[in-house]
Amino acid sequence: MVMGEGSVFLFLLCIGAFFLHQSIKKEDKLREQQQNFLLSVTHELKSPLAAIKLSLQTIVKRDLDKARQTSLLNNSLKDIERLDDLVENMLLATKIENRSYSFPKEEFDFSDLVSKITDRLQVHSCGCEQIINPKIAPQVKVNGDPFSLSCVVTNLVENAVKYSGPCAEICVELEMRDGHPFLTVADKGPGIPDAEKMLIFDKFYRVGDENTRKAKGTGLGLFIVKEVLQKHDADISVRDNVPQGTIFEVTFS
Amino acid sequence: MIIMQQKLRILLVEDEDHLLDAIKLNLELEGYKVHAVKDGKTALKIFKEERFNLIILDVMLPEMDGFQVCETIRLENTEVPILFLTAKNTSEDRVMGLKKGADDYLVKPFNLEELILRVGILVKRSMKSDDLKELNSYKIGDKTIYFNSFELKQDDGVIVPLTKKETMLLKLLIERKNEAVSREQILETVWNYDVYPSTRTIDNFILTFRKYFEPDQKNPVYFHSIRGVGYKFTDIHS
């Protein structure tokens, strides 16, 4: 009798200890990710600011020729766009978190939106004539929020550019499959280990160490992608590209 | 001043393209020769191959972070000034940077003027104070070295011509007399950072000096080899 009660008590105690341990581990992980987020945001905000400030001070201080001035100013404009994208992502992520964003939906031309984004990001590419290869079927309509969906497409394509080698081709395809809009973004980067494929959509999650990462970012992009697509009843999946890289597939219902 | 700075070399390590371009442009306009790289591992590789008067290091770098790069450099070289240029701005970060062996720490976004001034101060500090002093002649035993005319005058009046490198090495060792001067310091000062000669080259110079000055070359009293370190000049008459 006593033995029986004792072992039940011990069993419950073990289960309790296990859950407590899991919960502490989760908390630690979250704290570490938030710390990484602070680090990466610091870097992502201050680096373009430093570059803009230095470029403008250079133009003021030096007697530069027109070509050099234009190059410094163009770099500054790109840095301002980068800051703008970052601020948009941070605001949208915050609004999603506190449920203050309503995702105003309307039927719109998704083909047109994807084309505009691929055109814009093409300009950012490494100087090659074309690294983004768009295959966009015309007139693909989606009932959704154009602003948040444009963030989804921008984040997916920017990630593909960021993680690909210099001048590696990125494929962006949009078509109707089984009567539903179907978007694919495929890169030839290093790929994502299987164990991390499900984690990459977590807020602040980033692969690798913050201090020595090749591609910079904040860990907000894919969190926004997942949250926005959930609000649109759309699915996202990630699989390996052949011979290397990653393919993101988005299916609208 | 410009002529002096043209010889000065800076290793710039920064992974942000636009920032790297703008810093490089400004340093070049100030007369420095800049070697720019974008990750920690390449920085270490270049540091081992070339000589620099200053290293400007970002902290968050691909492959190997700036703190590690600084620590690794300090294992082999405690002289070259290192300036951290980073977005990490907490006092812990600054303390960490200085503990790893940095000489200065500048937080992004920084002022162009401040960067140039700090670079100038660090580079100046790195230059041997000896370069600023003027030593015209020096007597070793019964022979006198004339640094400006690259000559060695014996007491019988015979003049032996010295090469430029011989004169520079003599000047360096004499100005640091009674101190061990490392091979690295010799290479930095005499070979002016550009070419990396083998250590045998320095040995040959020392052998030549012994021929010139030592009464007994096998038991030198002036030019000593310090095993594993470099060379030392002692003047028994002073």
Give the pLDDT confidence of B87-134 residue by residue, as tens digits: 888 888 899 999 999 999 999 999 999 999 999 999 988 775 445 455
Residue B2 pLDDT > 70 = no
In this complex, do A211 and B65 lie within 8 Å of one another by their Cβ atoms?
yes
Q: Are strands B104-107 and B82-86 parallel, antiparallel or unpaired?
A: parallel
Nearest Cα to Cα of residue B115 among B35, B183, B48, B24: B24
A47–chain B Cβ distance below 8 A for any pair: yes
In this complex, do B108 and A39 lie within 8 Å of one another by their Cβ atoms?
no
Residue B1 pLDDT > 50 = no
Regarding whether B228 and B142 lie in a shared domain, the answer is yes
Residue A27 pLDDT > 50 = yes
Residue A166 pLDDT > 90 = no
Confidence at residue B56, expressed as pLDDT on a 0 to 100 scale: 97
Contact indicator for B215, B221 with CB cutoff of 8 Å = yes
CATH architecture of A2-97: Orthogonal Bundle (1.10)
Mean pLDDT along residues B154-172: 88
Residue A126 pLDDT > 60 = no
B227: domain CATH number is 1.10.10.10
Residue B189 pLDDT > 90 = no
Final residue belonging to a domain, choices B127, B149, B171: B127
Contact list, B114 vs chain A (CB under 8 Å): none
Tell me the residue range of the domain where B66 lies: 2-127
DSSP A172: E
Domain ranges for chain A, please list them: 2-97, 106-251
Which amino acid belongs to residue B90? T
In this complex, do A42 and B40 lie within 8 Å of one another by their Cβ atoms?
no
B20: domain CATH number is 3.40.50.2300
Residue B36 pLDDT > 90 = yes
CA–CA dist B50, B200 (Å, integer): 18
CA–CA dist A153, A68 (Å, integer): 34
- Residue B238 domain flag: no
- Residue B159 domain flag: yes
Tell me, which fold does domain A106-251 have in CATH?
A: Heat Shock Protein 90 (3.30.565)
**Mean per-residue pLDDT over chain B, rounded:** 86
Q: What is the pLDDT of residues A46-105, one digit of tens each?
A: 999 999 999 999 999 999 999 999 999 999 998 998 899 889 888 999 998 888 888 999
Confidence at residue A214, expressed as pLDDT on a 0 to 100 scale: 65
Mean pLDDT along residues A146-153: 94
Confidence at residue B104, expressed as pLDDT on a 0 to 100 scale: 94
Confidence band for B139, pLDDT divided at 50, 70 and 90: confident
**Of A125-134, A142-151, B156-165, which one has max mean pLDDT?**
A142-151
- Residue B92 domain flag: yes
Mean pLDDT along residues A217-230: 90
Range with lowest mean pLDDT among A14-23, A44-53, B195-204:
B195-204
Confidence at residue B125, expressed as pLDDT on a 0 to 100 scale: 81
Regarding whether B153 and B101 lie in a shared domain, the answer is no
**φ, ψ of residue B32 in degrees (nearest 5):** -85, 155
Final residue belonging to a domain, choices B98, B127, B156: B127
CA–CA dist A54, B112 (Å, integer): 6
**Cα–Cα distance list, B185 to A117, B128, B234 (Å):** 56, 9, 18
A49–chain B Cβ distance below 8 A for any pair: yes
Regarding whether B227 and B118 lie in a shared domain, the answer is no
Regarding whether B151 and B106 lie in a shared domain, the answer is no
Complex prediction ipTM = 0.73
Q: Identify the residue among B30, B69, B108 best suited for mutation to test binding to A, counting A beta carbons within 10 A and taking the highest.
A: B108
Regarding whether B108 and B214 lie in a shared domain, the answer is no
**Cα–Cα distance list, A217 to A46, A85, A140, A207, B15 (Å):** 13, 11, 30, 11, 13
Q: In what order do the strands lie in the sheet with B151-153?
A: B137-140, B143-146, B151-153, B159-161
Contact list, B64 vs chain A (CB under 8 Å): 212
> Structurally, how many domains does chain B consist of?
2
Regarding whether B216 and B151 lie in a shared domain, the answer is yes
DSSP A165: P
Compare CB distances from A72 to B22, B87, B109 and report the shortest one's residue.
B22
Regarding whether B122 and B6 lie in a shared domain, the answer is yes
Confidence at residue B109, expressed as pLDDT on a 0 to 100 scale: 93
Which amino acid belongs to residue B70? C
Confidence band for B229, pLDDT divided at 50, 70 and 90: confident
Regarding whether B148 and B118 lie in a shared domain, the answer is no
